[in-house]
Amino acid sequence: MHRTHAPAIGFTRSLPWIFMITGLYFISFFARSILSPLLVPMEVAFGASHAESAGLMFFFSMGFGTALALAGILSSRIRHRTVLLMAMGILGASLLIMARAEGLFIARLAFFLLGAGSGLYMPSGMATLASVADDRYWGRAISIHELAPNIAFILAPMVVNGAHGIWQWREILTAMGLICFLGAALFFMFGRGGNDYGTPPDPQTLPKMLRDPAFWAIMLFIGLGVGLESGPYSLTPLFLVSEKGMSATQANHLLSSSRLISPIMVILGGILADRVRISWILIVTILGSAVSLMGMGLLQGRGLGIAIMVQAAMPAVMFPAIFKSVTEIFGMQEQSLVLSLTMPVAIFVSLGVVPTLLGWCGDHGHFDYGFVAVGFLTIICLVALPFLKKRTSR
């Protein structure tokens, strides 16, 4: 996240450009969010097991991690706005390929490409956002940007439910692919920002960074945030249908309803990140996430619905705090390198290993045990909190 100082034009005047970049993020996140409710018909079409269906997220994480690892080199040679256009093009192409997949081999390739497009977006998207957002309101700009995934999580199951009576899952994916291309075209014509280049990996800075405990703590918390935001979400419909006896429509409705509070929570998270100690925010959200995950595995009825809602709200508050801690701990020139190095490993674990673990538990008739286990692993992450120390000088 190479931050350039945006001109102090005021928060209100920068809002149109912040919202345009957020719009791209929404499209990219919505594209992968619809895959969660579509996994049920896709599993039937491919004749796949729960573990094989969940394993598609493993290939997504591989693509995501690979793209992130290369993002620093790519953006050091190509402007950030061009990288964003490339990312949206890859997303659109991956969805069109997925829509024509007849088996798991092509589906895995499409998921890998989808992950690659999503991975290319993140560093350049944040850099482009930083180039149009006033530094004084960076926490609020992040909170607006983070509205995108939270609104996508709400709308994706609703749209799939509404469209499923008219279109098959393949047609839904085709339409989404075309929307990705449209978003890229609109940003090309009207978008602003992202005219700078990224910082390539520095062989002198790298060894020093790898010896810094804060670097490893950031890796852990980014992986935790992404894993809590997307991991349980991607498997919840399968869990509700196969173990809680719900229909696909009921599962998607509950999934969508549980995310209604998330946009409010992400705005709250941005405000808190500017006013409250980061450590307190992370303690509350990590414990809340752990308890709610265990509740998803152990509760029924209304308690289950509340647990799913709380689980969705916690990462929304957590993310602005995590990104704010990156800016507090690392210098401006280091931030892009930090994200390009930490996020591949973090994404691989959170979006690859965690869903695969849940899918394996589901195949053995114990989805509930999987959610409880992830809850315990979440609590263990608190041991890294003391390493997130704000530096007095950078």
CATH of the domain at 301: 1.20.1250.20
**How many CB atoms sit inside 10 A of residue 229's CB?**
25
The total number of structural domains in the chain stands at 1
Q: Is 193 in a helix, a strand, or coil?
A: coil
The tens digit of pLDDT for each residue in 309-354 reads: 899 889 888 988 888 888 778 765 577 677 777 777 777 776 667 7
Is 392 among the domain residues? no
How far CA 392 is from CA of 321, 328, 336, in Å, comes to 18, 9, 20
Q: What pLDDT is stored for residue 8 in this prediction?
A: 45
Split at pLDDT 50, 70, 90, the class of 199 is: low
Is 321 among the domain residues? yes
Six token digits for residue 278: 């980061």
Distance CA 60, CA 32 (A): 9
Is 326 among the domain residues? yes
Distance CA 287, CA 265 (A): 16
Is 237 among the domain residues? yes
Is 3 among the domain residues? no
What is the percent of the chain with per-residue pLDDT over 70, rounded to a whole number? 90
Is 59 among the domain residues? yes
Domain containing 199 equals 11-387
Is 393 among the domain residues? no
Is 394 among the domain residues? no
pLDDT above 70 (res 10): no
Split at pLDDT 50, 70, 90, the class of 135 is: low
The tens digit of pLDDT for each residue in 77-117 reads: 889 899 999 999 999 999 999 999 988 899 999 999 999 99
